[in-house]
């Protein structure tokens, strides 16, 4: 029995490892409902695989670790994957045999799924110990069920002690593995996000700007309008109020810019006090109107710095379009940059359209 349970455990751990390779997102309660359903289905199929390689301990009665996938996905993913996996495991049990033992086993799996769904949130603060508690409860249900059926079988309590011991150890190992996979994926997502987002404003960074502008320009099927934005006299703000104040203003301006983008358009921080907005399917007249809106909103906004003081700033904006002007990403950027320079030279706090647009 020990060797067969260890084989069952190997299938279980291999199943968790495989899903970590296939599924890019960590299993958390923040997943979408559809993703949680998929995770529940996967756990249910894993439970079915464990049943196929289960350990027969009497006629029509098998022992395996099918309850552990329910606990794992329920503890880390919430009620939906717990219930979905329990339903699939319960239903698939009848593919092996249809008898009173299968009915009782199905009831037990559903109880485990419901209890996991109800208590996983309350137990998550205990981390692996929370999984251990759920595993003890699940093993208790299994043992009680088997006792009702097999109480007179020889070596019943020896078999149950072996089963519970291995189930608790493998449950703890599975919880540790799951926790490690979740942490690794979360760190990977963070590093991936940090490589594309500006650390301060959380807007897309200049690398993403280059990729975006090159992609939409190479496609050539959409009109692209580019806004280059520069904060007027930003050095004076840093010199007067300090760099913390400058950072606070940059973050608040980023919020304004992001709030004004939609439908595939996107705001970027190109570096320092320089920002940009890429507008798709936008003629130059509409881009000019949009830029003027952003300029005016910025001028009227009260920017709060760490000292609590309210500060006013203005921006200069250069606007260029891919139609009747620049037809390459380099040309689009150059013409918008020249328009921005013109806005600076002619008094700042204004929007200028590139020559030729």
Encoded tokens for 328: 């390459």
Contacts of 105 (CB under 8 A, 6+ apart): 90, 93, 145
| Cβ neighbours around 115 below 10 Å, total | 19
Encoded tokens for 125: 């603060």
Annotation marks residue 300 as catalytic = no
pLDDT band at 84 (very low <50, low <70, confident <90, very high): very high
User: How many whole angstroms separate alpha carbon 47 and alpha carbon 11?
Assistant: 10
Report which secondary-structure segment, H or E, holds 63.
strand 61-63
- pLDDT for 139 equals 94
User: How many whole angstroms separate alpha carbon 139 and alpha carbon 76?
Assistant: 19
**Highest mean pLDDT out of 186-195, 210-219, 343-352:** 343-352
* Averaged pLDDT, 69-92: 95
- pLDDT for 292 equals 96
Catalytic pick among 273, 285, 299, 330: 273
All CATH 3.30.70.270 domain ranges of the chain, comma separated, are 206-353
Fold of 1-193: Arp2/3 complex 21 kDa subunit ARPC3 (1.10.1760)
User: How many whole angstroms separate alpha carbon 319 and alpha carbon 183?
Assistant: 44
User: How many whole angstroms separate alpha carbon 353 and alpha carbon 286?
Assistant: 11
The three-point CA angle 257-258-261 to 5° equals 95
* Averaged pLDDT, 19-48: 88
Q: What are phi and psi of 130, to 5 degrees?
A: -65, -40
Report which secondary-structure segment, H or E, holds 228.
strand 224-231
Q: What are phi and psi of 191, to 5 degrees?
A: -65, -40
Average pLDDT of the chain, as a whole number = 89
- pLDDT for 63 equals 81
Least confident of 196-205, 229-238, 243-252: 196-205
CATH superfamily membership of 206-353: Reverse transcriptase/Diguanylate cyclase domain (3.30.70.270)
All CATH 1.10.1760.20 domain ranges of the chain, comma separated, are 1-193
- pLDDT for 40 equals 94
Give yes or no for residue 30 having a pLDDT over 60: yes
> Higher-confidence residue: 276 or 179?
276
- pLDDT for 106 equals 92
The pLDDT tens digits of the residues spanning 98-117 come to 888 889 999 999 999 999 99
* Averaged pLDDT, 164-176: 88
Report which secondary-structure segment, H or E, holds 276.
strand 274-280
């Amino acid at each position: 029995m020990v060797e067969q349970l260890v084989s069952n455990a190997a299938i279980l751990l291999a199943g968790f490892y495989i899903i970590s390779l296939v599924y890019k997102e960590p299993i958390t309660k923040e997943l979408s409902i559809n993703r949680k359903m998929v995770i529940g289905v996967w756990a249910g199929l894993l439970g079915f695989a464990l049943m196929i390689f289960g350990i027969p301990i009497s006629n029509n009665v098998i022992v395996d670790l099918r309850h552990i996938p329910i606990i794992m996905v329920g503890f880390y993913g919430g009620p939906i994957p717990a219930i979905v996996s329990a339903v699939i495991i319960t239903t698939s049990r009848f593919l092996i045999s249809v008898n009173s033992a299968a009915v009782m086993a199905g009831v037990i799996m559903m109880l485990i799924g419901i209890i996991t769904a109800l208590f996983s949130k309350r137990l998550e603060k205990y981390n692996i110990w929370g999984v251990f508690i759920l595993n003890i409860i699940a093993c208790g249900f299994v043992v009680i069920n088997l006792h009702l059926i097999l109480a007179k079988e020889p070596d019943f309590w020896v078999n149950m002690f072996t089963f519970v011991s291995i189930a608790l150890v493998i449950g703890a190992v599975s919880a540790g593995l799951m926790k490690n996979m979740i942490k690794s994926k979360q760190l990977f997502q963070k590093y991936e996000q940090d490589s594309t987002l500006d650390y301060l404003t959380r807007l897309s960074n200049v690398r993403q700007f280059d990729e975006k502008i090159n992609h939409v320009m190479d496609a050539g099927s959409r009109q692209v309008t580019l806004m280059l934005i520069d904060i007027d006299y930003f050095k004076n703000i840093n010199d007067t109020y300090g760099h913390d104040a400058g950072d606070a203003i940059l973050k608040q301006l980023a919020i304004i810019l992001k709030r004004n983008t939609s439908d595939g358009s996107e705001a970027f921080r190109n570096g320092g006090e320089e920002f940009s907005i890429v507008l798709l399917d936008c003629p130059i007249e509409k881009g000019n109107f949009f830029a003027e809106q952003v300029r005016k909103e910025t001028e009227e906004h009260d920017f709060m710095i760490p000292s609590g003081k309210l500060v006013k700033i203005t921006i200069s904006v250069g606007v260029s379009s891919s139609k009747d002007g620049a037809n390459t990403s380099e040309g689009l950027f150059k013409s918008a940059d020249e328009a921005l320079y013109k806005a600076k030279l002619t008094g700042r706090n204004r929007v200028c359209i590139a020559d030729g647009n």
